[in-house]
Structure 1
Amino acid sequence: MIQNQQFLRALIGCALLKIWKVSRIDFCMEKNLVAVTVAGLAYYFWNQHRKKEEKEETAERWFENITTGRIADSSITIASSPGQVRRAIKEIYFYTRSYCNYVGLDCEWVGKNKTALMQISVSTPAGIKCFLIRLCKVDIRICYELMAFLRDEDVVKLGCGIDGDFKRLSEVDFVIFHPATISFFDLRQIIPATNYQNGGLANLTRQILGRKLNKDYRVRCSNWEADTLSNEQKTYAADDAVCALQILGKLIQELGESRVQYFINEYKNTVFKQKSKPNKDKKEKSGKITQNALEEKVKRRLETRDYGSDYFNSATASVRKEPLYNNCVKLLAPDGEVLSITDKKKADWYVKKGLGELVEDTETSFIVRLKFEPSGRPNTDSEKYYVTEKENVCVVCNEKNGLLRKNVVPREYRKHFPIVMKCHVSHDVVLLCLRCHGRSNELDYLKRARIADKFVAPLGNADLAKAILEPKERRNVRSGGNALLKNRAKLPEKRINELESIIMEYFNATVWTGDLEQKASDLPVLAGSEEEAQSFVQHGEKVVASLMLSGGIESVKNFEVDWRQHFLDTMDPQFMPEGWNIYHNHERIEEKLDREIKRADGTFLKPCPPTEKNLDGIYILLLNLKGMRESRLSMITNRPETSDPADFSFLFLSNMKDLQEVAPRESAHVKKRSDGKYNTASIRLSNNIIVELTGFSTAMESIINNAFNALQSVDLSFNEIHKIDASFDHFPNIRSLYLHGNQINSLNEVKKLRSLTKLKRLTLHGNPIDNLPNYRLFILYIIPTLQTFDFSGVSGDDHLLYFQMLNTTRNP
């Protein structure tokens, strides 16, 4: 820099000397003008060099004061018109030329390839600013300043997967927005040189910046083309672009500017490709699950792996941030007996509803005494387990940090257990550290593999399991079709003839036609024959169903005991909670079954013999009435309101008319009929923006087959409903109605549900009426048929409390 300045100063001196000489020899105006021009040009170049050097000195300092938090709302600028876009780009150019030539860039999309918003963050001396350019409001093709900025090679655009944004923009103009014509850099290219684990932008933000990037689907999937963006949308969009600039600044601080600049120069305009680690255990798949292969694989891992910090990344593992057991929160009976040790939110609920009084509220204790007699008390050993204090430590090695929940009985089996075995399951949730959790999972996998062989129930999801069971001949035909479609030109003639012969033989064709290869490629994955594929049941469901068919509920209880014993034998836990045992809750199961037998006693339920055809969606309700305690044979019955629903949730529906114009989410058990209707007893409309229910009956009749008799469960939770529509009267068999999280503010609306004489389950919490005094008691009085309300069971004491309150009001 000093040499350049000396050279330019000498040049200016020579120009001035020339002016002096010319003025002495000849006063000709033309010669003076030439000399002045030379001097002016020399000064201009010197000044440009000076500014460039000053910019470089300043740019070296931009990352030193980089912040890691979210920027303030005042630092976010929205551009919604061509004029605002021009001003925004002008300001961005000012800072990139005078301060820092890196910008963070991201886009928000609507639909497949429609760009709604472009976010550009730039570093300024006062901090990071972000510009939100609403491309849905302007035509990007006439924003020449923006297009010139994107193609400017001196400004490097930062992001994770940023080439994907430009590929989508290339749908608008292939030449202008193609990644090959734009200067960009994927931040993931630098991560191998650091100690961080590579991943997406959210993962890098958590590791490098130490904060969580908001990826709430409700904001991500919101309407980015709205007339005005909400504050949540602004913050969400700006943070994606700001994080990219902050991450680069932190990496420069850690690695040094020269090393980071090397990566940028080396990988600029290069698409990032994740290097996959070689799997040493990968072998050719045989057509069946073999116990020996699985055992060898797991045993090899158990011998070679150290399940410590190298196996689990504590920065990314979902370890508990708060203790599992809150021993300071207790729920007492009216006489002071401890009923349970629970969490503060549940205990405080009784106080807010007027059903309990706060006895103690300190930093170390939160105690609530109920005002009514509970339906039961902890008398048995299983019930007393829930009133004993438990330590938040690993039950195997007593480690206190980095703990995870462990399901002793895997959930893939538990969720298919009889309904009487699905309560009080927290007994089978224990705490393990990262190391012990990893080892336990491997040992569980080995046991699950043996169970899979025993019951012929492949592990994994439906597609994987079907692929394992699929006949080899069918796989070869589909593979041959794919090869011919994609690589026919690369295959030798002999191989082409072989593949064509295989496909022709499978379809019984005598002459090769072009559509056969497409037909072969489109063959779906099937487990055996067409009939077997349609009756396919996943691993956990098939195992439990087989147990029920073979030995009833006793077999499932023994299966539960076997898993608990497996955990004790393989992990040898030395710090299990007091009162934990392998036969936990079995006496309560017996009592519940006896109660159900007495309630049934040949009145409202008819026995249904267990068969293979009615295993889908079943649950065990009773024992066979004959023999009662002696025989313990299971009785299986259908419960339609728990079947798979027609799921229309999270579709931004605002009324019933919208409902008839969209299709529900795909489900393996809810099939569309030829008339366009669905065979289901349930419909899910939760998490939309429905305001009114006008046309509800018409919509149901157009969606559900025989809706008048079939509809039994309706989920309208988390909408904007103010009034309950009287059209619910058209569906007298509704048993479950979920209306929590809406805007219902009058008890008169609830009275419209009186006509639903079969209604057993209702939710209304999260509505304005939830804050009314004695809200629960009034609802139970209005609808006396309820068995559960707001996910809480209804007892005779609830109705008694209402009459006591009524008498107190009438006779003060």
Structure 2
Amino acid sequence: MSQESGVASTRKWAIVAAGLGLVYVLVRHRQKLLGPLRRVWSSNCLLPQRHIEVINSVQDPATRWVLNELKTHCETFKVLGFDCEWITVGGSRRPVALLQLSSHRGLCALFRLCHMKQIPKDLRELLEDDAVIKVGVAPQEDAMKLSHDYGVGVASTLDLRFLCVMANHKPEGLGKLSQTHLNYKLDKHWRLACSNWEAKQLEPKQLDYAANDALVAVAIYQKLCRDLQPRHFWQRCPEDDKNLRTTFEAFLDVDFTKGFSLSGVTRSKGLAQGKGKNGLQRKQPYRQMATRSKDFYDNCLLQAPDGELLCTIDRRKASWYLSQNLGTQISEEPFTVRLNFEPAGRAVGDVGRYYQTIKENQCVVCGDRDAYIRKNVVPREYRKHFPMVMKSHTSHDVLLLCPACHQLSNISDLRVRNKLAVQCEAPFKHGGGSIKYRDDPELRRVQTAGKALLHHGAKIPAAKVAEMQKTLLEYYIDQTEVTEDLLRQAASVKYRVENADYCQHGERVVQQYRDNFGGLVELERLWREHFLHTMQPRFLPELWNVNHNADRLEVRASEGRVDEADLLVAGLDAKVKVM
């Protein structure tokens, strides 16, 4: 080989080695190198590519074109930024004045509903299309206002704060989310937020404010989705990932604030503060939960008198058997107690084997072992109305979740509660049929007048005394004068009366499933399948299944240890008879 060819070969291999080294550096430090580039890309490309269209009337020639463009953009990426603006006059909210919809391609349509007076048919179809996700911060509130003001439903709204929680980010207002995730500062001055959105002509600053809110919502959604499904820089991310939607589908059309008020979540002393559209401070539902780091499962063993394993139990229960002379300690590790009496039943089939298996002290969803909270898969508000045979020995439906997973699970439960409330005509919000007692205003006036005249009559002005006496005589129509006996009778009047329409949500749902929807095992199955679908747990105990209680009751029925009435309530009477 000549000297020249040797030099050329050496140079070639040096170039290859340098290239490989560069690739290694890019891969090894990709987060540090690409992170700032992504933020710069987001902030610089967000606004230059935007295209704002203002629609003032249904007859506007641009209306059809804009709606067709939005629909076309949604064919490849079924997400729209969604927001609304309105004004308040004399403390009363006026109908929504402006509706903002933006696509991922930078098109932002501003529909001036205050001038249009109606929702065009194509716009209504787009808003009601549940395949298209409408993203923003508190979009459910805007959707409710549109429904109230214009009779249009907005399907598949998604609060971006749900994605923040799922991606382990702080759930903040839109302005802070834009700054944190896009490195772009929105103009959130209260004068703009509270400006006249019904003006004949909107100012350029108003147009920027309205359009940017919807545009950054889509950009934040895209960024949070990348955080949820990180990929290498050379991997192409599908523009519209349907698999990703399944991870947050349970949070569609769910109010973020109400989701955090469910059981298992406690209010922390210092709530994060945010500004509403009126510029005033309001509390945000960023809360902490009481967790436990001590092992929940002790996995002590309980044996029958002949040594057969019955189940695993906690240390306290095992010690109780010993203190009551109901059992004898067999070993220390594992801590094992053998009963001194024959138990009512033995472990049978998969049901029995489930209670024999060792349970891990970890989150059943993500596997975290640092801290966890007990999760009632079938919420207690329903379980407490079950017959005793179905609400005792319910450890199958008590699982361990880490704080983040517990929070998300509780939020997703709200959607099932809403469906059950409609299906079973069982409201669970405060108001209407959910209030057991109500105050009768007339009886309250009578009691107040009676007490005041009886105890403080001499100190009350004559005009007020006359007014109170008139109230009493109008109620006690058979009396002609106000006597001390009458005052005592009025003062003891009970003004809190039972609400004839009252029905506790959980009790009504249980009653309806018991009588009309296939029995309580169907209600159990509904909640368990919901948990599996929304949380996709990867670390469930072995043999955990959605039909557990039904199988357990059938075993008991075969042993003659359950009443036929309980089987009927559970919805198993016919099945057991066939067996």
Q: TM-score if structure 1 supplies the norm length?
A: 0.30
Q: Determine which structure has greater relative contact order: mean sequence separation of CA pairs < 8 Å that are 6+ residues apart, divided by chain length.
A: 2
Q: TM-score if structure 2 supplies the norm length?
A: 0.40
* Structure of greater Rg: 1
